[in-house]
Amino acid sequence: MATKTTKLVSPTPTPQDRPTRAEAEAAVRTLINWAGDDPTRDGLIETPSRVARAFEEYFRGYAQDPEDILNKTFEEIEGYDEMIVLRGIRFESHCEHHMAPIIGRAWVGYIPNGRVVGISKLARVVEAYAKRLQIQEKMTAQIANAIETVLQPQGVAVVIKAEHQCMTARGVMKPGTDLVTSRMLGIFRDNAITRQEFLSMVD
């Protein structure tokens, strides 16, 4: 049986600490002004409201508990104990350093230990972590750790490939480059043949 991973909870603002929508929109107006434009001109007058709505979409993952997503499982699997892999899960996230977009795909695999989860739930877990301010390394570990904690499978494997606009659209300006990260737990870490079988499915 896989070792249960301690859940790491990042501090999040309480409802009392969270700024109001009006304060968020005022902050956007300040940034527009700081950038050198006039937030009161016709083309920008509604931008603060639009940005606030966009942020609600970009960062809706803070309102979701990925482990809860995985809680409904199925045990009638006729003893199935082979690899389960969901490939190429597209996601959009934002870099916590520059708030620039991260656009990529995730490959998520596990070997069950008596129960499985609906495949859409694996995609939802990726989405829940992606819709937060992130670094790719942390997101990769969070996805794997959540699956291990809830399902307690024989092993979990996660690979993420993504392009970071913080380095493709600014700074070093290297479009076309991507970052690849992986997290291997249980049998995927301990058994090179199993790990290679999973990696052969990553394209």
Active site members: 95-98, 136, 164, 166
Amino acid at 197: E
d(CA 203, CA 123): 17
Neighbours of 10 (CB within 10 A): 9
DSSP alpha helix (H) spans, the chain: 21-35, 47-58, 66-69, 119-130, 136-151, 165-168, 187-190, 192-199
* C-alpha dist (Å) from residue 173 to 98, 163, 177: 14, 12, 10
The residues facing 91 across adjacent strands are 104
